Amino acid sequence: MRPALVRKREYPNNITFPRALRDAIPDHELSMGRVLKLATVDAQAAHTVQMGRRVQIKLHVCETGKLEGEFDVWIDIESEAAKAFANLVTEAATQADRLKPVDAWAQPN
């Protein structure tokens, strides 16, 4: 009897936007895009034979301004990438806690 072949499939780290957001994004060149308010964040672990160990993060976002709507934006990344991302965000948050405030709207000298 032959041993089963183990084939590692490569599944990229990705972000999935719902189709409903397609029409909400301005298409003129000078636009800064669509600003959405982050309402909630949730995460879950996954481990499958096909995709390996992954972390799935759901960003629940809401329209701002004149438009209305709520959308789920999904981030699906390998567990090692999730750990690196968490460390990066933690380090940035620690640095932000140490910064002195500046006037973001002040004109440079």
What's residue 88's pLDDT? 96
Q: Is residue 54 part of a domain?
A: yes
* Residue 65 pLDDT > 80: no
Domain encompassing residue 74: 14-98
Q: Concatenated DSSP letters for 26-71?
A: --STT-----EEEEEEEEEEEEETTTEEEEEEEEEEEE-TT---EE
**Tokens 């390996």 sit at which residue?**
52
Residue 31's pLDDT is 64
Asked whether residue 60 is assigned to any structural domain, the reply reads yes
**Amino acid occupying residue 8:** K
Q: What confidence tens digit (pLDDT) does each residue in 34-57 have?
A: 788 999 999 999 999 989 999 999
pLDDT surpassing 90 at residue 29:
no
> Is 1 part of a structural domain of the chain?
no
Residue 35 dihedral angles phi and psi, to the nearest 5°:
-100, 125
Q: Say if 49 falls within a structural domain.
A: yes
If one compares 109 and 16, the residue with the highest pLDDT of the two is 16
Q: Please state, in angstroms and rounded to a whole number, the distance separating the CA atoms of residues 39 and 61.
A: 5
- pTM of this structure: 0.76
Q: Domain for residue 104, yes or no? A: no
Does some domain include residue 57? yes
Asked if residue 107 belongs to a domain, the reply is no
Which amino acid is located at 72 in the chain?
A: D
% pLDDT > 70, the chain: 83
Question: How many structural domains is the chain composed of?
Answer: 1
> Does residue 82 sit within a domain?
yes
